Amino acid sequence: MTVTAARPTRHVEHCMGTVFSFAVADEGDWTEAIADAVGWLHQVDATFSTYRPDSAVSRLRRGEDVHDPLVDEVLSLCERYERETDGAFSAHLPGGLDPSGLVKGWAVEWASGILREHGSANHAVSGGGDMQLAGAAAPGRPWRVGIADPFDPTRVLTTIEGTDLAVATSGTAERGAHLVEPGTGEPARALASVTVTGPSLAWVDVAATAAFVKGQGALDWLRAQRLGGIVVDLQGTVTRTG
């Protein structure tokens, strides 16, 4: 996904094996605010990375006792979302505990909250293409997010406009068939991509994963959750929640 804004303060940070970007559309010096948000992202990575043997999640996977309020919050959210998605999303995969499907969106939403605490009412925070948008790109001008065609990532399939909005996409375009059905551990292959919109990126990111795993039932499930959605099937047909 791509986002456009009018002369924002920008920053790009590599973390969690992906790229995070910040665009603050408010006037002023946002160096300290962005530094605090970036520090938060690296704290999350140090806590939840499944690739770092010293992370809290890695220690949990080895059966060690871990007492960390961030871990408690994330695992509690994972349990809640597993119930709300009827198991289509889960942090308990055949390979062991892995809350990664929640952590990135949750971390980006919190990073947006950090910018708000510093006084920014208009900004976009993106992690791996999933976005939490606050306010507007410019006075009277909403944020515009381009959604990539899963069969040709260089082509914009459609554009979403909005204010105070979260946008997340799950699919095979960038990482192949990496989303698995929690019960079997097998890759979900029924769809090409699912894009979901709503107010909270933590929930929208999970919902995009769950809808992708649900396959042909994705659109009806998203409607039942009162979330906006764009579904692309394996033939390239695009359908929307409305």
Domain count, the chain: 1
Q: Which range of residues forms the domain containing residue 59? A: 2-240
Distance CA(200)–CA(228), nearest Å, equals 12
Distance CA(30)–CA(107), nearest Å, equals 19
Strand-strand pairing, 2-4 and 143-149: antiparallel
Please, which residues have CB within 8 angstroms of residue 164's CB and are 6 or more apart in sequence? 133, 134, 135, 199
197: three-class secondary structure by DSSP: strand
Which residue has 């939490």 as its token pair?
132
Instruction: Return phi, psi of residue 186, to 5°.
Output: -85, 145
pLDDT of residue 188: 83
Mean pLDDT on 134-148: 95
pLDDT in tens, 31-42: 999 999 999 999
pLDDT of residue 186: 75
1 neighbors 21 (Cβ within 8 angstroms): no
pLDDT in tens, 219-232: 999 999 999 999 99
pLDDT of residue 214: 94
Q: What is the CATH number of the domain that holds 218?
A: 3.10.520.10
Using the predicted structure, report yes or no on whether residue 181 has a pLDDT greater than 90. Answer: no
pTM of the full structure = 0.91
Instruction: Return phi, psi of residue 179, to 5°.
Output: -90, 130
